Amino acid sequence: MPAAISKRKALYEWKIYLFLVPSLLLIGIFSYAPAFSTVYHSFFRWSGGDAKEFIGLANFKNILADKVFWNSFVTIGILVLANMVKMVPSIFMAVCIHRLKSERWQYNYRVLVVLPMIVPSLVVLFIWKFFFDPTQGVLNHFLDATGIKGFLVDLDKLFHWGVFFADVPIAWLGTPGLIIPSLIIWGFPWIGAVGVLIYLAGLQSIGTEVYEAAQLDGVNSLQKFWCIEFPLIMTQVRISLVLLVIGTLQSYGLQYLLLGGNGGPGQKGMVPGLWMFSKAFAAGEFGYACALGLFLFVFILTLTYLNNRYVRVDK
């Protein structure tokens, strides 16, 4: 913890604080004012504009009875877990790049990993939507060409899933039972550029003496990962985890684009953010949407606190 300084010392060069004013002002206007507005409007029946009616805690009471909202947490829970698993390929890729002997090739691979970031995320979403198209999509063509479709149909007959049929193209986004698998498949092979760079930064900060000592002890590649690299990048993993949980809970763009505002058939793809968005912009219930947003904020804050409190980095 930094040592405390006296007030006189802190204000000695008071003019330099003025340099902070523009930034604070912008943060206040664009980040904190909307947040306070959300808190304020969550106590109103408000459909946008200046007309509103104070209804106390009614919006929050309605949340308690909102089945769609609560069900959406099941979907988001599955997606958070899936996204945690999806961290593995990024860690694996970072370790592979880190272990390359040639610095030039390390650089080349870093560039290759970062390159897809140039493609706008909306374009990526549209490409994936096209992948899932039942008649023209790449995914169904691939499954047909490789014979995997037949295997899936056999599995379906065995387990009675009722989603894969022999003569019917697979409706990835049109069958309730395939919505969550589709959302999980999305982004395959799940190598996120930001994640790789974060882990790589952590790996590069490991001193060469640690590797040399491990080599003297005769550790193999797998042991090197489990006993040295993974524990020493846990700080980065924890940061990724926090960002991932917050990002997954807040995001709804993927679901909106792939499945529409209702979350697809059976609302299987409904996530809290999408429900909040639909309530605000489709139903015009801005006040209720603010209450949902506030609830989501508290939920994310609690998860972040628990993550910071209990996911320990023990080096």
For residue 117 the two structure tokens come to 């970031």
Instruction: Name which of 121 and 223 has its Cβ closer to another protein.
Output: 121
Alpha carbons 59 and 52: distance in angstroms, whole number: 13
Q: In b/e form, how buried is each residue of 85-108, taking b as 16+ CB within 10 angstroms? A: ebbebbbebbbebbeeeeeeebee
Instruction: Provide the total of helices (H) and of strands (E) in the chain, helices listed first.
Output: 19, 2
| The only residue of 265, 297, 299, 303 in contact with another protein, by rule CB under 8 A | 265
Alpha carbons 49 and 261: distance in angstroms, whole number: 23
Query: Which of these ranges, 30-38, 44-52, 103-111, 192-200, lies near another protein under the rule CB under 8 A?
Result: 44-52
Instruction: Name which of 134 and 187 has its Cβ closer to another protein.
Output: 134
Q: How far is the CB of 264 from another protein (least distance, A)?
A: 6
Instruction: Name which of 203 and 276 has its Cβ closer to another protein.
Output: 276
Does position 253 bind another protein by CB under 8 A? no
Quickly tell me which residue has 């990024």 as its tokens. Answer: 90
Instruction: Name which of 134 and 231 has its Cβ closer to another protein.
Output: 134
* Phi, psi angles (nearest 5°) of residue 199: -65, -35
Beta bridge partners of 138: none
Does position 47 bind another protein by CB under 8 A? yes
Alpha carbons 16 and 194: distance in angstroms, whole number: 34
Query: Which of these ranges, 215-223, 231-239, 279-287, 302-310, lies near another protein under the rule CB under 8 A?
Result: 279-287
For residue 80 the two structure tokens come to 């958070």
| The only residue of 171, 228, 239, 243 in contact with another protein, by rule CB under 8 A | 171
What contacts 122, CB < 8 A, 6 or more positions away? 257
Query: Which of these ranges, 104-112, 170-178, 235-243, 307-315, lies near another protein under the rule CB under 8 A?
Result: 170-178
Binding mask 121-160 for another protein (x = CB under 8 A): ------------xxxx------------------------
For residue 301 the two structure tokens come to 């804050």
Range 84-123, binding another protein (CB under 8 A): none
Note the residues at the interface with another protein (CB under 8 A): 45, 47-49, 51, 133-136, 162, 165, 168-176, 258-260, 262-267, 278, 281-286
